[in-house]
Homo-oligomer: A and B are copies of this chain.
Amino acid sequence: MPYAHKVSSDEKVHLKDVDSSKHDKLTKDIADATTEKLGEELSDLQDLLFEAGTHSLLIVLQGMDTGGKDGTIRCLARYLNMQGCRVASFKQPSEEESKHDFLWRIHQQTPATGQCTIFNRSQYEDVLVVRVHNLLPKSVWKKRYDDINHFENNLYDANTIIVKFYLHISKGEQEQRLLDREKDVDKSWKLSVGDWKERELWSDYTEAYEDALRKCSTDCAPWYIVPADHKWFRNLAVVETLVETLKPFKKGWHEKLVELGKEQKKELAAFRAKKA
A interface residues with partner B (beta carbon < 8 Å): 51, 70, 73-74, 76-78, 80-83, 85-87, 89, 118, 120, 182, 185, 187-193, 196-197, 257-258, 260-262, 264-265, 267-268, 271
Known: A77-B77, A261-B188. A193 touches B267 (CB 8 A): yes
**Number of copies of chain A assembled together:** 2
B264 and A189 within 8 A (CB):
yes
Cross-chain contact of A82 among B80, B264, B267 (Cβ < 8 A): B80
B86 and A189 within 8 A (CB):
no
Docked CA distance A190–B73 (Å):
29
Contacts of A70 in B (CB 8 A): 83
B86 and A81 within 8 A (CB):
no
Docked CA distance A74–B257 (Å):
21
Can you list 23 A-B contacts (CB < 8 A)?
A51-B189, A51-B190, A70-B83, A73-B81, A73-B82, A73-B83, A74-B81, A74-B83, A76-B82, A77-B80, A77-B82, A82-B86, A82-B118, A86-B87, A182-B265, A188-B258, A188-B261, A188-B265, A189-B258, A189-B261, A191-B268, A193-B267, A196-B271
